[in-house]
Amino acid sequence: MKKLVLFSIFLALGIGVRSQDFGYIYFDDTTNLSKIYIDSTLTNNIWQIGHPQKSVFSSALSQPNSIVTDTLNPVLPNDTSVFYLSIFIPFWTLWEDFSFAYKMDCDTLTSYGKVEISLDTGKTYHNALNFGLYSIHDQFGNIVNDSGLVFTGRTNGWYGFSLNPYFYPDALLLFRFSFISNNSLSSRDGWLIDNIYFEAGWEGVPLKSEYFTLYPNPGTNSLHIESTGRISDFEIINESGQSVSTQSPDPINNKIDISFLKPGIYFLKVRTTEEAISIKKFIKIK
C-alpha cells in the first residue's frame, strides 16, 4: 500500500476543520480505481496505468504507478486519448475540492490536455475551468500563471492543479481527461497524472443530519419544521450553492416561508444555538 504522500500545496485547500473524503487515487492499489475508466473504444488510446519509464517521465509522484500517456513510448501524432473519472456528490455537501499532480511534456499550444465535466452522465461536457475557481502551483508552491490553456508545454517538475467546483449536490460529476497531440513526429512524453484527490464536506462545525424534521416535502407556500433543539437561524440554498434566503425561526408555528421560491430543488441549512448545523433537501412545487 502506497503511503498517502502529496505535496502540501496539492492538499492545502484550507476549508473548514470537519470534512469527509470521497476519493483519492494513487494508482498503486485498487482503492477507488473503479472510478477510473480508460476509453477502450478509441483505437489509439495511449492512457495507461503503470510505472512510467520514459525520457522525461521516469517516475510517479508516489511510487511506483501513475496514469500516463503510455508508460514506455512517446505520444502518437494526431491522436486523442481519453480517460474518465466519476465522483458522486452527496446532497448535503456544502463545498467540494478536486486536485491532482501532473507533468506535461508536449509542444506548446499545438498539443495539449484538457479536463471537462459532465453533469448529465456524459451527454454534454464543459471545460472544467468554467466550473469553479482553479489554481496551479509548481513543486515549490509558487503560483503558475497561464492564459487559460493550462495543460500544455513542458512543466518544470511536478505541478499541482486544484479546482473548487461550483456547488453541485446530489449529482454525478463525470470528469473527462483528454490529451490531444499534433502531427509532429518529435519524441514527447505527453501527460503524466498522479495523486488524484477529491474532497466534499461541510463547514467547520458539528453536523447533525437528523436534528430536525421538515414537512410537507415537496411543499408549495410554506414548510413546517420540528427540531429537538433550539434553532438560532436557518438558510435556504439553491442548487447552484447560492443563498437565497436567511430567516429567523418563527416561535409560534415554526413555519418557513417558501412562497417566493421558484419551483425546484433546495437545501435548508439549520444552525442551532449550540453552533451545530443540519441540512435537508426539499422540493418547491407550483
Looking at the domain assignment, is residue 187 inside a domain? Answer: yes
Judge contact between 97 and 282, C-beta under 8 A. Answer: no
Overall average pLDDT of the 36-40 stretch: 94
pTM exceeds cut of 0.75: no
> How far is the C-alpha of 192 from the C-alpha of 100, rounded, in Å?
10
**Residue 275 banded pLDDT, cuts 50, 70, 90:** low
**Residue pointed to by grid coordinates 503503470:** 50
Q: Report pLDDT for 60.
A: 96
Q: Report pLDDT for 286.
A: 76
Q: Are residues 226 and 196 in the same domain?
A: no
Last residue of a domain, one of 152, 179, 201: 201
pLDDT of 265 strictly over 90: no
133-188 per-position pLDDT tens digit = 888 988 887 888 765 678 999 999 999 998 877 666 667 788 999 999 999 988 99
Q: Report pLDDT for 21.
A: 41
**Residue 270 banded pLDDT, cuts 50, 70, 90:** confident
* Higher per-residue confidence, 145 vs 37: 37
Q: For all residues of the chain together, what is the average pLDDT? A: 80
User: Helix, strand, coil proportions of the chain in percent (round to 5)?
Assistant: 5, 45, 50
- Pick the range with the lowest mean pLDDT from 18-22, 82-86, 188-192: 18-22
**Residue pointed to by grid coordinates 451527454:** 123
Q: Are residues 142 and 252 in the same domain?
A: no
Last residue of a domain, one of 152, 168, 201: 201
227-263 per-position pLDDT tens digit = 777 788 888 887 656 778 888 877 677 788 899 998 8
Last residue of a domain, one of 151, 170, 201: 201
Q: Are residues 176 and 265 in the same domain?
A: no
* Higher per-residue confidence, 221 vs 23: 221
* Higher per-residue confidence, 77 vs 213: 77
pLDDT of 4 strictly over 80: no
Q: Are residues 137 and 197 in the same domain?
A: yes
What is the per-residue DSSP string for 163-195? EEE---TTEEEEEEEEEE--S--S---EEEEEE
CATH code, domain with 249: 2.60.40.1930
CATH code, domain with 92: 2.60.120.200
Q: Are residues 149 and 197 in the same domain?
A: yes
Overall average pLDDT of the 28-55 stretch: 93
> How far is the C-alpha of 111 from the C-alpha of 49, rounded, in Å?
21
Q: Are residues 116 and 183 in the same domain?
A: yes
Range of the domain at 245: 212-284
pLDDT of 119 strictly over 90: no
Q: Are residues 164 and 226 in the same domain?
A: no
**Share above pLDDT 90 across residues of the chain, in percent, rounded to a whole number:** 37
Judge contact between 195 and 6, C-beta under 8 A. Answer: yes
Overall average pLDDT of the 81-105 stretch: 82
pLDDT of 209 strictly over 50: no
Judge contact between 24 and 200, C-beta under 8 A. Answer: no
Q: Are residues 105 and 20 in the same domain?
A: yes
Overall domain count for the chain: 2
